[in-house]
Homo-oligomer: A and B are copies of this chain.
Amino acid sequence: MATGQRRSSMRERFREQVREDVKAVALEQLAEGGAQTISLNAIAKQLGVSGPALYRYYANRDELLNELVIDAYHDLRDALARAAAGSAHVRRPEQRMRELAHAYRQWAREHPHRYELLFRPPFPGYDAHAEPIAEAASTLMLPVLGVLDGNEDDDVQYVVRVWSRMHGIVSLELGGAYTAMHIDADALYTDEIQTITERYHRKP
């Protein structure tokens, strides 16, 4: 009945709550020491339950990491969508492109380990990564396609190339390559985006 369904959903909700708690602690560990330091044991200890209890909620460690990947992908996608929506009123497409590129890099800098998680599969034989990445890349670049004023198929490769350039800089920046070389990542990224928008401007 109604109460029965409600109580059943209560259980479901509790289960979902625990899963969220686990992921929250996992994100803390991720932020502190990277993906390798995420430990189901440590998470359980921090949550006050003991050891194998978490295996009622996640089949294994990889499943948890997988959820973190998917969440991160959703998060980045939403951040880009917000940036695109926020600059929808801006007339000049170069400016919209700049804001989108800025949002991309900003998210990566705010969540460096999650960004790495996105584009660097932490699993040995990782199948579940391909599909999210595919969907990620497609949906991720929708705002860019929008900035490009709705050209269709042929521009996909161009969009991917734009994405690759943004990712290249962000990835090297997060890896510490720029600081090690004493290179101003801000200026580098700004210049690169400037070049990209100029090129776009030139290319009808």
Contact = CB atoms under 8 A, between A and B. Distances in A.
Nearest to A162: B168
A86 B136 CA distance: 40
A48 interface: no
A133 B176 contact: yes
9 contacts: A33-B124, A34-B123, A119-B177, A121-B175, A134-B177, A137-B181, A161-B192, A164-B172, A164-B188
A127 to B, nearest CB: 10
Most buried by B among A36, A116, A195: A36
A177 B168 CA distance: 13
Contacts of A116: 120
- Tally of this chain's copies: 2
A50 interface: no
Nearest to A183: B160
Nearest to A118: B175
Given A116-B120, A168-B168, 8 more contacts: A33-B125, A121-B175, A130-B176, A133-B177, A137-B177, A157-B183, A164-B192, A165-B168
Interface residues of A, number: 47
Interface in A161-204: 161, 163-169, 171-172, 175-181, 183, 187-188, 191-192, 195, 199
The 8 A-B residue pairs with the shortest CB-CB distance, nearest first, are A168-B168, A134-B180, A164-B168, A33-B124, A130-B180, A164-B169, A167-B168, A133-B180
Nearest to A141: B181
